[in-house]
Amino acid sequence: MSTKYIFVTGGVTSSLGKGILIASLAKLLQARGFSVTIQKLDPYLNVDPGTLNPYEHGECYVTDDGAETDLDLGHYERFLNKPTSQANNVTTGRIYQSVINKERKGDYLGKTVQIIPHITDEIKRNIKLLGRKGRYDFVLTEIGGTVGDMESLPYIEAVRQLKWELGKQAMVIHLTLVPFLNASGELKTKPTQHSVKSLLENGVQPDILVLRTEHELNEAIRKKVALFCNVDVEAVVQSIDVPTIYEVPLKMKEEKLDVTVLKKFGIPVGAEPELNAWKSFLNKYKNPKHKISIGLVGKYVELPDAYKSIVESFVHAGAVNECAVELKFIHSEEITHRNASQMLEGLNGILIAPGFGHRGIKGKIEAARFAREKDIPFLGICLGMQIAVVEFARNVLNYQGADSTEMNEVTQYPVIDLMEEQKGITNMGGTMRLGAFVCKIKKGTHLYKAYKKETIKERHRHRYEFNDKYIKDFENAGMKPVGINPETGLVEAVELENHKWFVGVQYHPEYSSTVLKPSPLFAAFIQACI
């Protein structure tokens, strides 16, 4: 079968959940035996979200191949259980960068370089790249932003051209909102009509409309939308609010979204999608036998999207353990030595989140100390591990003023220091230690018990590292390096002796946790908390 292209655009407002919708449709197609991949096109000028503050854009997700990407790629991997790569996330910045590089090389042979056709060609090239050599039956492309945004125009134009070129091999699904007006007690379709009109002005007729709603849509509403927007009634799909995003594939199946897509492409519908493992996950998630509460100590607590992959990892690993995990977001800036026991009281476990910069560091150190001294299960991720190391140096080894050189360049005890290869780097974008690296685990450790194997591969995103000059001092005092990169000798994980469960990892286990393959480390952490 030749590769089919499905585009998902959004209308009316942002945050309707295009990422979850596209991941759910891809899941259903995958569960029918098709090979699928999902791509996100982001209309901003940053080359990637790696330089964006979490306040701007939530979490920065990292792929195996070391791309810093939009957090929607995390959803794609969590739903499909398949790794994504740099090719799955393209921004306007990257498109322009590549066009301008070609222009400087003289590749355009004296032509005037313009948005149409050069920018749109580059967009189309990036979309078709994924479908090359028939690698996938379906390439699903999410167009970031909302239709009508000036920034999105070149993407919508590229979709228009591709629909024309590919004919029946391409399809557009438009996601909109049907608001409920309390005063009149009615669901309103006008915003959807306007949104489709605005797509039509750009020459794109959607094939399927997915309507986000808080109340059931009746037949009359579906018919009305179909009539005004030139689509079949079967192609008007309801997407009602559900308690967990992992139910959306089942809701889309009820609405026969996958069937409608297959029929429109002229592909035989075949047997029902195989979703047994998915349903069993949901069943465990909804019927927990245990309940724990874990404190997530970070500085973006008012913004759960900043820790998206961590939050989802607890959902996956919680379900395996049939355990409901209540996450308490604790602002690291509010924790002091005096109030630590009061703020962290009653928690079954403490997690210190990844992060950059000075803000909130003192509170994180207090939280690590509290977990160490009170024998509370502890997981430190990236900066979280570095904090545990600094705390141990200061309070157990008595290295006064020990620090990471990220926080204090002239500390007498740089127990966390800039990696050698980082020292000459001045550019901030894409220059960290990024992507999946091998880690060798020492037997007989919590880490080994979690992964049940000696060699693992996990993803990284950092510049600083455990300073191996101090390894012996730490080991002798009870903080052991338990995971080492076999090529560079870098310390990737530490553990405390004589503690229930205290693990710090330099890598990010949360990036590789999926519904069907929860992170073994999160699962072990939850077990320790139970």
What is the nearest approach in angstroms of ligand GLN to the Cβ of residue 69? 15
Given the complex with ligand GLN, which of 211 and 387 has the nearer CB atom?
A: 387
Rounded CA gap, 424 and 404, in Å? 18
Do 480 and 445 contact (CB within 8 A), yes or no? yes
Give the whole-angstrom CA distance, residue 370 versus residue 354.
18
Is 96 a binder of ligand GLN (CB under 6 A)?
A: no
Smallest distance, ligand GLN to C-beta of residue 365, A: 14
Out of 306, 383, 479, 505, the only residue in the binding site for ligand GLN (CB under 6 A) is 383
Q: Which residues are catalytic?
A: 382, 508, 510
Residue placing its CB nearer to ligand GLN in the complex, 28 or 352: 352
Residues of this chain, 462-491, that bind ligand GLN according to CB under 6 A: 462-464
| H or E stretch covering 90 | strand 89-91
CB of 60 to ligand GLN, least distance (A): 9
- Which candidate, 36, 46, 45, places its Cα nearest to that of 5? 36
Place of tokens 């519908």: 269
Looking at residues 114 to 153 of the shown chain, list those that interact with ligand GLN (rule: CB under 6 A).
Answer: none
| Residue 4, beta-bridge partner list | 138
For the chain, what is the radius of gyration of the CA atoms?
A: 25
> Residue 272 CB, nearest distance to ligand GLN (Å)?
42
Q: Considering beta carbons, is residue 417 or 495 the nearer one to ligand GLN? A: 417
Alpha-carbon distance 344 to 155, whole Å?
A: 48
When binding is defined by CB under 6 A, the residue of 406, 458, 495, 510 that contacts ligand GLN is 406
Q: Which is nearer to ligand GLN, 364 or 499 (CB)?
A: 364
Minimum CB–partner distance for residue 525 and ligand GLN (Å): 17
Gap between the Cα atoms of 479 and 438, Å rounded: 21
Give 61 or 314: the residue with its C-beta nearer to ligand GLN: 61
* 441-444 long-range Cβ contacts below 8 angstroms, 24+ apart: 441/482, 441/483, 441/493, 442/480, 442/481, 442/482, 442/483, 442/484
Residue 317, helix vs strand vs coil:
helix
Provide the b/e sequence for 324-334 (b: ≥16 CB within 10 Å): bbebebbebee
Q: Which stretch binds ligand GLN (CB under 6 A): 10-18, 26-34, 44-52, 456-464?
A: 456-464
Q: Is 71 in the site for ligand GLN (CB under 6 A)?
A: no
Cis ω for the linkage preceding 54 (within 30 of 0): no
Q: Give how many residues touch ligand GLN by CB under 6 A.
A: 10
Which of 93, 354 has the CB closer to ligand GLN? 354
Amino acid at 186: E
Task: Give Cα 527 distance to the centre of its chain.
Answer: 24
Q: 96: which 2 tokens? A: 């322009």
Q: Which of 297, 461, 509, 512 binds ligand GLN (CB under 6 A)?
A: 461
Whole-number minimum distance, CB 9 to ligand GLN, in Å?
A: 33
- 42 three-class SS: strand
Site string for ligand GLN, 344-373 (x = CB under 6 A): ----------xxx-----------------
- Which member of 119, 382, 393, 529 binds ligand GLN (CB under 6 A)? 382
Judged by the rule CB under 6 A, the positions of this chain that interact with ligand GLN are 354-356, 382-383, 406, 461-464
